[in-house]
Structure formats: C-alpha cells, structure tokens
Amino acid sequence: MRALLKYFQPYKKECILAPAFKMLEAVFELFVPLVVSEMIDRGIALKDGDFIISRAILMIILGITGLISSFSAQYFAAKAATGFSSDLRNDLFKHILSLTHKEIDEVSTSTLITRMTSDVNQAQTGVNFFLRLFLRSPFILLGALIMAFTIDFKAALIFVVLFIILSLVIWCVMHYNIPLLKTVQLKLDRLTLLTRENLTGARVIRAFCLEEAEREGFRNENDAYTVVSKKAGHISALLNPATFIIVNMAIVILIYTGAVRVNAGALTQGKVVALYNYMSQILIELVKFANLIITTNKAIASGNRIAEVFAIKPSFPMEACSDAGDKAVKEGKPSGKREKDGEALGAQAPDFSVEFDHVSFRYNENGDEALSDISFEALRGQTIGIIGGTGSGKTTVVNLIPRFYDVMQGQVRVFGRDVREYDPRKLRNRIGIVPQKAVLFKETIADNMRWGNENAQDEEIMEAIELAAASDVISSKGGLYAEVRQNGANFSGGQKQRLTIARALVRRPEILILDDSASALDFVTDRRLRTNLQSLDYAPTVFLISQRTSTIKNADLILVMDDGELVSSGTHEELLRNCPVYREIHESGCSEESA
C-alpha cells in the first residue's frame, strides 16, 4: 500500500483541507451540548426568554457553520479521492501495457481486469472515507471524553470504560475480517475470469449445448464467493450492533447515575443532558468509525493487490538502444559484437532478415520445452512457410521474432542483430503481425487501419486493403469510415482476417508475419491474397503459418514443426519426397479440398 502514497502528492492541498474542515465541523458540534446545558440550567430554570433566544441563535449559527464546513470537506475529499484513483488507474493501465506476454500469462487477464476496476474503486472509496473521518471521528470521541471530564469527573469514568471495551471489539473485528476481505477479492477474480470466458466463448458454448454446465459452474463459483462474502459481512456486521449495545448500556448507566446525583444535588439537569448528548455523539461517531475501519480495510486489501501488480517487473524494459546500434540496424549491418565474434555467416549477415540459432524456449521455467534447438535462416524478401500439427510450436516460433518472449537458449537475430539488443519498439515498428485471432477495435475501419501507420492517408489505406483482397468488404460496409463494433461484431471471420492483414500492410513492414490469418478464407480468396503478397514492391520477408499446404507450397522455405522440434525444412517438392509429417498433412489437405 505504501507504494501508492505517491498518488496523493498532486492533491496535498485537498488532503489537508478535507480533514481540516471536518475538524472545524467537529469543533462546532462539540460546543452544542454545552449550549443546550446552559439553556436548561439558566434559561429554562430561571425562565430567562432572552437568554434562551440568544442561545438558540448561537446554535443555528453553529449548525450553519458546521454545514458549510461539512460541504467543503466533502468537496475536497471527493476531489482528492477521484484524482487519486484516476492517476492510479492511468498508471496501472500503462504499467500493464509495459508487461510482456510472459507476465500477463502468469498473472492472468481476469485478475488484471479486477484490479483495474473493482480494486481501484475500493481504494477510491477508502480514500474518500479516510479523508473525511480519520480525524473527525477520533477528535469527536476524544473531544466528547474531555468535555465530559470538564462537566463531571465521576460520570466521565463511564466514558473511559466504554472506550476500553469498544477498542477490544474493534480490534477483534479487524483481526478476523482483514484476511477474509482478501479472500473475497480472490474469489471475485475467479468470477471475473468465468464471466469473461463465457462472454468470449458464447458461440462455442451454444454450439456444444453446454449452457447448463456453464451455468452450474458459474453458480458454484458464485456460491463460493457468496459464502466468503457473507462470512466477511457477518463479522463486519457485528461491529454496529455491538457498538449500539455497548453505548446504549453506557447511556442507561449514565442516566441512572446522573439521576441519582441530580437528586443528591451533585449535578444539574443541564449537565446530565450535556453528558447524554456527548454519549450520543460518541455512539454516532463510533458507527461511522466502524464503517471507516471496514472500508479502510477493504481499501488496504485492494491497495496491496494493486501494489502487487506494480511490483511485477517486465522481463525486459522498453529501453532505447544505443545510437551506434540504431545506425547499424538502419544500414542492415550486424552489431559490433557479432562482427567481432566472427560467426559463420560473417559478411553474408546483412542478407538475412531472421536467423534462429539453436533456439530453445519454455513458457514456464520449470515446464516442458515448447521449442527445442530450432535453427533456420530467412533471407530478405523470402517467403517462409511454417506448418505442423496443433501445439507443434508454430506460433511460438514467430512470437520470438518481435520478442514477445525471450529465448531460454540460443539466439534470435533480426537483420544480423540479436533481438535482445534492440529497443523493442523499434524492433516491432519494422514488423507487421497478423495474429491467429483477428482483433478489430470499436472505431471506424480507417481508424483500425491506422494502427499500422497513424499517418497513413486514405489512398495508402485503400492500397493495403486491395492487397489484402478486402475491397469488397469496404464497399459492402459503406466505405473507409464505416463503424466497426466492439471486437468487429458486424464483420464475418473472413472479413476480419482480411482487414487485419490490411492493417499490417499499411505499415509496409520489412518482416510480415501471418499467423494462420487466412484460415477463414476460401481457396480462391486465399490464392488471390498470396499472389498480391508476392507482388509487394518493398519485398518484405513473409512468414506464413498455415494448416494447409496449399497456402505455403510456393514458399521459398517451408519449416515443418512437430512437438516443438523442427523436423524438416525445404521446398514443397523436397518435403513431399523426404518428410513423412509434411506428406501426411498435404494428403489430408488434398482430401479435404476434393471433398
């Protein structure tokens, strides 16, 4: 939680003024019982009408001044709390974007969503309550105790006993409730995950008629969340009735002892009423203080969860590479380290756009290898096809090129330079990526296209769209500035795939990665797309991942993956002769086409 204190820095003034105005309100409130006591003992007892009126006017003035102070305190507390949460949410979002795929995989998306929304909201509510009550409630409690001692010492001892008992009750509630509140948030993470999966996979769930099974699974998780929430709520709920019971018993004792002492002449009726009013103030403030403790506990638990996300450091920072390195990259030359090492490729290095040199990779440090000893070289302008069964490591190979993950062993070099020596932004600016799942954002088609190049003109966008064989999509939707709904819900799978390919082409990348991005296209459109890619005037190195040999058969080099290993490489004809895995995939694909 301490890591979040810096977000209060811009709101120092509000953090001081909010409790200050609340303290001012509390001061006025503490004077009211004394005024009432004087009205009874002097005004009413002596039937002094002018004195009663003067004290009534004083009470109105105190009330109005206290109300203005309360409004001011509320304003400054709300300003500080909303500003705190806004800055915190912005930085948290920025930090999440800086995390690599590895960290996001480990934390899980649902957890990050919960911490960005529910936890930040809890922290905001806690800050608001804290600024308004953390000084006011203790000040009223102590102030009422002090004022009680000024009125009558013996009666004030009841207040002391009350404080001791209530402190024990509050400590017990906090001791058992804080761990439960953390568990509640963890259960909420799980609920968020299930909700997200169900919304994302709604069509799959319907296709397999698993609605009831998913409802049952969600019901079980929701029930588990409810049980923990109720348990935490029951413990929290004990605080208010326990406070009421203890304080009301104290009030009964106070009135009884007060009546006895009034009869004995040791106390006046006005002082008993003043003591009663102070006891009532204590009751109200203890209820507020109890709610403050519960809310603050929730806020601290949420703040700690947010701080845990900030504590996650990306595997590699987005640091700029050296000027010398940048120059070497622009000229297409290997880095100085590579030249000095005198590796086998030597003078040929500038001809290679991508090299895998005995690369091995695991998604988890203690897990199985996703890739084992992968080595190949891709020349500038070549088309590299990658094929293999599901889970063979095809996507993992291309994810290492833009450095979404770091290799465990070996090297991945782009234009003769290890990807770990690049500034990741500059590396990725040279690469166009079309992932397996086509993702469009809720903007216009043109806005989506400009993700590839924010300065692209409409003519450049249309050229990329024609190359991606998506001209008919634009005309059917009403032009470049047609609306795209969330996740491209108003486009078919094939339309989304073609638009995401066009988005990558707008960038005019030096390396183009198409990760099974034509799976939803018919064979005619797929063939037209491949023909267009071969005609690109800037001749990028193209990586084609596909389940169909027809898509990659004209590639300059085909890599055949099986269980994380590169079992063979070569041209289509060579692999048909020499690679049983490739031949099996080809024959199964041919049977599908003929069917």
d(CA 396, CA 516): 13
Q: Are residues 197 and 339 in the same domain?
A: no
Q: Are residues 415 and 492 in the same domain?
A: no
pTM of the model: 0.71
Q: Are residues 233 and 358 in the same domain?
A: no
Q: How many CB atoms lie within 10 A of CB 331?
A: 10
The pLDDT value given to residue 323: 41
In contact, 300 and 126? CB cutoff 8 Å: yes
Q: Is 494 among the domain residues? A: yes
Span between the terminal Cα atoms of the chain, in Å: 62
Angle of CA points 67, 70, 72, to nearest 5°: 110
Bridge partner list, 412: 356
Q: Which of 311, 336, 359 is the C-terminal boundary of a domain? A: 311
Q: Is 317 among the domain residues? A: no
Q: Are residues 196 and 89 in the same domain?
A: yes
Question: To which residue do tokens 């491209």 refer?
Answer: 488
Q: Which of 485, 506, 527 is the C-terminal boundary of a domain? A: 506
Q: Which of 458, 478, 506 is the C-terminal boundary of a domain? A: 506
Host domain of residue 381: 323-430+509-594
In contact, 162 and 281? CB cutoff 8 Å: no
Bridge partner list, 568: 560
Per-residue pLDDT tens listing for the chain (595 residues)? 677 889 999 999 999 999 999 989 888 888 888 888 888 888 887 788 888 898 889 889 988 998 999 999 999 999 999 999 999 999 999 999 888 888 888 888 878 888 899 899 999 999 998 998 888 888 888 888 888 888 888 888 888 888 788 778 878 877 787 788 778 878 887 888 888 888 878 888 888 888 899 999 999 999 999 999 898 888 878 877 887 788 788 888 888 888 888 888 778 888 888 888 888 888 778 778 877 877 888 888 888 889 989 998 887 765 544 444 444 444 444 343 333 333 333 334 457 899 999 999 998 877 788 999 999 999 998 999 999 888 889 999 999 999 999 999 999 999 999 999 988 888 989 999 998 888 899 889 999 999 888 899 999 999 999 999 999 999 998 889 999 998 888 898 889 999 999 999 999 999 999 988 877 787 788 888 888 888 888 889 999 998 888 888 889 999 999 999 999 999 999 999 989 999 988 887 664 554 4
Question: What DSSP string describes 318-377?
Answer: -PPPPHHHHHHHHTTPPPHHHHHHT-TTGGGGGGEEEEEEEEEE-SSTTS--SEEEEEEE
The pLDDT value given to residue 340: 36
Q: How many CB atoms lie within 10 A of CB 3?
A: 13
Q: How many domains does the chain have?
A: 3
| Distance of alpha carbon 530 from the chain centroid | 39
d(CA 572, CA 568): 11
230 token code pair: 């109720």
d(CA 308, CA 321): 29
The pLDDT value given to residue 589: 66
Q: Are residues 51 and 199 in the same domain?
A: yes
3-class state of residue 444 by DSSP: strand
* Torsion sign over Cα 206, 208, 214, 216: positive
Which has the closest alpha carbon to 413: 348, 364, 367, 362? 348
In contact, 66 and 23? CB cutoff 8 Å: no
For the domain that residue 574 is a member of, what is the CATH number? 3.40.50.300
DSSP 554: T
Q: Are residues 185 and 228 in the same domain?
A: yes
Q: Is 316 among the domain residues? A: no
Q: Is 33 among the domain residues? A: yes
Q: Is 68 among the domain residues? A: yes
What 235-242 contacts at long range (C-beta under 8 Å, 24+ apart), as own/partner pairs, is 235/173, 235/176, 235/177, 235/180, 236/173, 236/177, 236/294, 238/173, 239/169, 239/170, 239/173, 239/290, 239/293, 239/294, 240/287, 240/290, 240/291, 242/169
Q: Are residues 495 and 522 in the same domain?
A: no
The pLDDT value given to residue 481: 92
Q: Are residues 488 and 569 in the same domain?
A: no
Q: Is 75 among the domain residues? A: yes
Angle of CA points 442, 109, 484, to nearest 5°: 10
Which has the closest alpha carbon to 359: 316, 395, 431, 413? 413
Q: Are residues 329 and 283 in the same domain?
A: no
Q: Are residues 28 and 171 in the same domain?
A: yes
Q: How many CB atoms lie within 10 A of CB 584?
A: 11
Burial level of 424, CB count in 10 A (0-12/13-18/19+)? buried
Bridge partner list, 576: none
For the domain that residue 216 is a member of, what is the CATH number? 1.20.1560.10
Please count the CA atoms within 13 angstroms of the CA of 591 that sit on its side-chain side.
6
